[in-house]
Structure 1
C-alpha cells in the first residue's frame, strides 16, 4: 500500500499539477516550496471572495456568508489604516472563538500588519508580558480580556484598544460597531512573502513564552501542505479500495466542507490547519463558545460537519458521550486530532465507531506554522504509533547528540527544514540560533523516520507537560512555585492522565519550619499562572528531592516513585 501512496504523491506533485513543487530562495536558503501557494495571505483571502453566498462563519444563531465576511474584512481593514496601522505594526487579538477573531485576522493580514495571537487563558501579568514583548500597537479584545487588561492599562498607555461583545466600552477604547461602520473599501498594502503575518506565543524553557514569527510564505505553504497531506492519502486509499472492489461506488462529495472551531484560534492547529484550510476550500466554520462534547455532537448533526480535527481528547469525549449513538454523524468524513498524539486505542475506536469517518492525525509545531506530517485512514490504522508521513516540501531527519544525520529507523532528535519554518523567536536571537541551526529546526522531539517517510515520536527532549494540547513548560511553573513563601525545593513534571493525556505534577519540599497545604499553593498560583498550568497533583514532602551529579532534579525518578493517590 505504501507504493501506491508514493505513486500518488508523485502524480500529484508533477510539474503540471496543482501541487507542483519548485525551489525558492527563502532568507538565504534554497528550499522546496509549493509552486502555486499564494504569495501572501492578503492575496489568499481576496481569492476566496468567489465562494460568494456559501456560509462561512457560524456562531449560535449568527451566520455570515463569504460575501458578507469579505465586506466586513474590508471595513475593518479600512478602519485600521485610517487609525494609523501600517505594514509591520502588531495588533493583538485576545478573545474567545468568536467570528470577530477570524475577521480581525484577515483584515490585519490584508493591511500588511501582524496578528499577535494572545493566549486567552493568560492572567493579567502574562497578558502584560505578551503585549509588551510584542510591542503591540492595538489590542482587539472581548469582555473577559478587557477585564484583565483594565488593571494593567496604565502600563500600556499608548496602545489602542477595540472591544468586542462588551457590555460597556471604556472611554479609552473603540467599540467593534465603530470599526465595522467604516467604508467597505480594501486599502492597498505592500507585502513581501517573508514579512511576518502572525506571532503565536509558545511556552519557553526560561519561564516566559516565546513569540514565534510566522510569515506570509510559511502560512500560505502550510495551507497547501495541510490539504496535500490529507488529499494524497485519501486518494491513495481510494485507489486501494477500487483495486479491492472494482464495483464499489465512491462516496459522493459533500455540498460544502464544514468544521467545528473548538480548540483556541491562537493555536496553529485550529487557525492555520483548520480555519485557514477550510477557508481555502470554501468551507463553513462553526464556532463554539466553550468546549462541550454533547453540544459538538449537536452541531455535527445540525450543520452537517464533514471533518472534526482538534486535540484528541475532544474526539475521545465525543465518541464516549451518551449522545453519540443518538446523533446523526454520518456527514463526518474525518475524525481526528492534532496538537497532541492520537493514542493507538483512539485510532481503533474511530475506525470501529466513526461510521463514515476515517481516523486522522497531523503532526506539526508552532515553529513549522502548522503541519509537518499527516496520517489518514488505513495508513494510520497500519501505523497507529506514527505521527504521520511528512509532506514533500519538508526535509526531515533524525540526528544524534552531535547533530549527525541517522539512518532510517534510528532514534535521535527530529530536525526539519522547509518553507514553513518560522523566521525566529521575537526578541530572542539566542533562542532562535539554538533552535534553528543552518536552516534546520531542532524540534526537541525524539524519534525516527522509517523507510516510508513516516515520522515516529518516542519521547520529548524538552521539559514540558502536554496537557490536552496545551504546552506547559515545567520551568515556568517552577518559577511561580518558588515565589510561594516557604518553598525550598520544587520539581514539576508530567503525570499520565486518561482524559488530557498528561497533567501537571509538582513535588515540593518546604523550608524548615514552613507549613502550607496544596490548596494554598494552588490559590497562590492563580495570580501567577493560567489555570491550565496550575499543578493538579502536588506532593509536599520533607525528603530532599533526588538529584544527579550536576544538581539537577531527577524528574523521571519522581514520576516513577510518587503515587498519585498520595498527592494532594
Structure 2
C-alpha cells in the first residue's frame, strides 16, 4: 500500500506554505496546533457560501431551497434575534426534527456569535427540562412534537420566548417562523471571538446527566478543515502512487443527512463539508433505508454518512439491486466502529463508492481521525491516522504514557477540542488536562500512525451512534420500588452496534417482569435508552474488590442469550 505517499502528502499539505499549513498558537491558555489559513469563525465561513447563490442548498421531501434563499432567511433570523435583545454570547435552543429550518437557525446564530443549543429531539419532557435549565437559552425554536413536550415542563412556561416551526395551529404565545424569516434588516455587524461558543451539544457521560459541550468557532472551523484535508491528502497520495489524477473540476457534493442535526456527525461533518463546497443537503423525516435509496436515485446523492448500520441496511435492502446508486462516491460510517466485514462489503457491492470512516467525539467538534478508499480496505479494523491539528498520546492507568506498541487511553490535543462543559467545572477538569482531552477510548497506534480502538474506559453504550450513559439508565431502573440493585451495560448487536442490557436483583418478596421494567424506564427515558434485554438475578451481582460491578462479566453472561434472541 501507498503509506509513504500518504506521509509525503501530509508533509506537503501541512508544511510551510501548504494549503493546510499547521502552526502552533496560544489557545485557551495552552500551546495548541491549529490551521494557519482557517477562517477565524463560523460567521466568515457561512458568509462565503453566499457565492453559491443559485445552487440548490437544501432538499426536504418536495421542498427545495437555494443558497440565496438560505442567506436571505438567515439574515432575517439574525436581525430578528437582535431585535429581541440577543447579543453575542447568548444562546438559542433548537428542538426539532431534521427540517430545513434547523440549519437556517444554526447558521443565523453562528453568524452573529449566538450559541445554538442542539436539543436532542428524542428527549422526554424531564430531559428537555434539564437541558433548558442548564443552557438557559433566551429563545426556543421548536416543532410541534417538541412544543408539546415543552408544555409538559410547567415551571418553564412563560420563561422562554418560543418560535414555532411547522405547527398546524399557532398558539398565541408562539411567534410563527414565517414572521421571523420575514423580519426586515441587515445582518448585524459583529466580530465573533474564535474561542467563543458556536454551539452547545449535549453528550451523555458517566455521571448520569448529559453534559453541555461548548464547541467553539475555532473548533468547528478546524473540524471542517480536517475534513477537507482528509479528502485532499488521500487524493494526492493515490495520484502519486497510481498516476491517476482526480477530476479537475468535480461536481458539488449531494449529501444525504441520515443522523440528527443535534449531533456533530450530521451537523459539523455532513452539513459543514457540503456547505463549504457549495453542495446540496438532502434531509429525511426519519431514517428509512428504502426511502434513502429512493432519495439517492432521485437526487443523485454522491455521499451518505451515518452510523455504520445505516450503510449496511442500504446495501442489504430488497430495493438495492433495482435502484440506481451510480451517483454514490462514498458511503461513510461514524459514531461507532465500522465492522471490518462491512468495509469490504461496501467496496464490493457499490462499484462507484468507496468506504470511509472518521472516529471522533462531540468533545472534538467532530473527527479525530479519518480513513477511506484503499487505505481503509487495506486496514479495515483501523480508524485511520489522527488529523493534522491533533497531537496524540496513549496513557496508562498511572497517568504516564505507555511503552511503544502498547495500548492505552487515547488523549488528544488540538484546536478542535471543546472549551469545556457549561456549568460543570469539575467534569471539565476531569476530561481535559492542559488542553489534552481524555477520550475514554483505549487504543493502540501502529508504525504508520493508524489508530486502532480496542476498548472503552467509559461506562458508555453506543447504540446506533447515540451515546447512552449506563449511569443514567441505572438511575431510571433504580426508581422502581422493586429493584434492589442493577447494572447496565452494552451487548453486541448486528444492527445497532450495541444494545442496552440490564442485570437486576429484586428486593425480597418483590415481583417484576421484563415488560413492566421496560415500561417503567420508558416513562422516564428517551426510547433509545430503554433496555432491550433484562435479566433477573437472585444472588448479588458480581463486583470487584472496590465494590464496582463487573460489567464485562455480566456482558459475557448475556452474550449467548442476546445472540439467540
Residue 201 (1) aligns with residue 202 (2): yes
Q: What is aligned with 2:49?
A: 48
- In the other structure, the counterpart of 1:293 is 289
2:127 corresponds to which residue? Answer: 126
Moved more, 433-442 or 554-563: 554-563
Q: Residues 107-126 of structure 1, C-alpha deviation per residue, up to 9 Å, x if partnerless?
A: 01112111000011100000
Mapped partners of 2:496, 2:188: distance in 1: 44
The count of corresponding residues between Structure 1 and Structure 2 is 563
Match among 394, 397, 402 for residue 398 of structure 2: 402
Contact kept? 1:493, 1:506, Cα under 8 Å: yes
Following the alignment from structure 1 to structure 2, what is the Cα–Cα distance between the partners of residues 460 and 566? 22
Q: Which of 512, 520, 526 pairs up with 2:522? A: 526
Residue 142 of structure 1: how far off its partner (Å): 0.5
In the superposition, relative to structure 1, how do residues 257 and 566 fare at CA in structure 2: closer, same or farther (>3 Å)? closer
The residue number in structure 1 matching 2:272 is 276
What's the CA shift string for 1:404-456, capped at 9, x where partnerless?
22344210000000000000011111111111011111100001122111111
Structure 2 counterpart SS, 1:495: strand
Q: Distance in 1 between matches of 2:242 and 2:66?
A: 36
Note closer, same or farther for the CA distance 1:122–1:474 as it changes in structure 2 (3 Å cut). Answer: same
Residue in 2 aligned with 1:189? Answer: 190
Aligned 8 A contact 2:151 2:157 in 1: no
Matching residue of 2:260 = 264
1:197-247 per-residue CA deviation (whole Å, 9 max, x = no partner) reads: 1000000211100000010100011110111122211321233232xxxxx
Contact 1:494 1:503 (C-alpha < 8 Å) held by counterparts = yes
The one-character-per-residue Cα deviations of 1:273-321 (angstroms, maximum 9, x if unpaired) are 1101110111100000000111111111111111111111100100101
Quick check: 1:237 aligned with 2:238?
A: yes
Structure 2 Cα separation of the partners of residues 250 and 38 of structure 1: 26
Contact 1:465 1:474 in 2 (8 A): yes
Uncovered stretches (5+) of structure 2, i.e. residues with no partner: none
**Per-residue deviation, 1:249:** 7.3
Residue 507 (structure 2) pairs with residue 511 (structure 1):
yes
Q: Could you say which residue in structure 2 is the equivalent of 1:14?
A: 15
Instruction: Quote the Cα distance in structure 2 between the aligned partners of 1:567 and 1:453.
Output: 39
Contact in 1 for aligned 2:239/2:245 (Cα 8 Å)? no
Structure 1 unpaired stretches of 5+: 243-247
Judged with a 3 Å threshold, the aligned counterparts in structure 2 of structure 1 residues 100 and 329 are, in CA distance, closer, same or farther, namely same
Partner of 2:531: 535
Deviation at 1:190, TM superposition (A): 2.8
Moved more, 190-199 or 415-424: 190-199
1:255 shift after superposition: 2.6
Secondary structure of the residue aligned to 1:373 is coil
Match status 1:318 vs 2:314: yes
Matched, 1:28 2:25: no
228-237 or 391-400, which moves further after superposition?
A: 228-237
- Report the CA distance between 1:17 and its aligned residue: 3.0
Q: Is 1:397–1:448's contact at 8 Å kept on the other side of the alignment?
A: no
Any residues of structure 2 matched to 1:551-562 within 5 Å, and which? 551-562=547-558
Give the distance between the partners of 2:231 and 2:311, measured in 1 at CA. 18
**Structure 2 equivalent of residue 416 of structure 1:** 412
TM-score, normalising length: structure 2: 0.97
Distance 1:249 1:6 in 2: 18
Does 2:332 correspond to 1:331?
A: no
Quote the Cα distance in structure 2 between the aligned partners of 1:317 and 1:252: 33
The answer to whether the 8 A contact 2:258-2:304 is kept is no
User: Within 2, Cα distance between the matches of 1:472 and 1:159?
Assistant: 28
Determine the C-alpha separation between the residues in 1 that align with 2:456 and 2:231.
Answer: 26
RMSD: 1.5
| Superposed displacement of residue 252, structure 1 | 6.8
Alpha-carbon deviation of 1:516? 1.3
**Equivalent residue for 1:91?**
92
CA distance in 1, matches of 2:404, 2:220: 29
Which aligned pairs between 1:101-500 and structure 2 lie closer than 5 A?
101-183=102-184, 185-242=186-243, 250=246, 254-500=250-496
Tell me how far apart the structure 2 counterparts of residues 250 and 567 of structure 1 sit (CA, whole Å).
Answer: 47
Contact conserved, 1:237 with 1:377, CA < 8 A, in 2?
no
Separation in 2, partners of 1:32, 1:149: 41
Residue matched to 1:245: none
Is the CA contact (8 Å cut-off) linking 1:234 and 1:376 kept in structure 2? no
SS of 1:270's equivalent in the other structure is helix
Deviations 1:500-542 (A, max 9, x none): 0100000111101110111111111122111000000001222
Secondary structure, in 3 states, of the residue corresponding to 1:273? Answer: helix
**Alpha carbons 1:360, 1:376 under 8 Å: kept:** yes
Please list the CA deviations of residues 59-104 of structure 1 after superposition, one character each: whole Å capped at 9, or x if unmatched.
Answer: 0111111111101110111111111111111111000000000000
Give the CA deviation at 1:137.
1.3
Misfit runs of 4+, over 6 Å: none
